[in-house]
Chains A and B, each alone.
Chain A
Amino acid sequence: DAGITQSPRHKVTETGTPVTLRCHQTENHRYMYWYRQDPGHGLRLIHYSYGVKDTDKGEVSDGYSVSRSKTEDFLLTLESATSSQTSVYFCAISERVVPEKLFFGSGTQLSVL
């Protein structure tokens, strides 16, 4: 998966607990994205980053925060997990050249009980 590692691959947690998902890339791509995938909704953008310490919100950012302290790492945090955040989370990277190609990680299956 194009030098992208997501961890953990699977996580079960309880409502109200904090959760952090990690995306690590070895491609030195400038842009990194977090998506969630739910049945009937396809892939929806949560947050993205266009450089170290530069992040912005996507279409479903409520309840999530991100941080990017190094080019290679992009963290997604659920401050207080809710059952509605049960989903598969994908990290993607790109160079934003034209046309833009997104390269995806293998995903993290998160279950909030």
Chain B
Amino acid sequence: GESVGLHLPTLSVQEGDNSIINCAYSNSASDYFIWYKQESGKGPQFIIDIRSNMDKRQGQRVTVLLNKTVKHLSLQIAATQPGDSAVYFCAEKKLYDKVIFGPGTSLSVIP
């Protein structure tokens, strides 16, 4: 969903289900797109990245999809676990430039 005011978009999923977190990016010239996970009280942690010349990349239990036509990025988490509860940030980057972060999505896993 879209962020409104100061509230993070929130996604609630049942434990064991798959989660899909969406992100719209702004710069069609970005070379890399990255997902970070931030648990409560901690700094963000790198999850996975994808180059702009790719459509899909898989990691351990996570898949990132990139649709450059509509400037959309998604993170799929398979078999969501309570430890996946966190805020997820998408970020974009041009080569040799700085990382630009999105506002984040809060994922809540229901046991």
Contact = CB atoms under 8 A, between A and B. Distances in A.
Contacts of A92: 43
A92 B98 CA distance: 12
Q: Interface of chain A, helix or strand or loop or mixed?
A: loop
Given A40-B5, A90-B43, A90-B44, A102 B89 contact: no
Contacts, number: 58
A39 B101 contact: no
Interface in B3-40: 3, 5-8, 32, 34, 36
B54 to A, nearest CB: 11
Interface in A66-113: 90, 92, 96, 98-107
Interface string B38-55: 000111111001010000
B103 interface: yes
A9 B104 CA distance: 23
A103 B98 CA distance: 14
Contacts of B96: 96
Contact of B43 (A40, A42, A48, A104): A104
Interface of A: 1, 4, 39-45, 48, 58, 90, 92, 96, 98-107
Can you list the 4 inter-chain pairs with the closest CB atoms, starting with the nearest? A104-B43, A40-B6, A43-B101, A39-B6
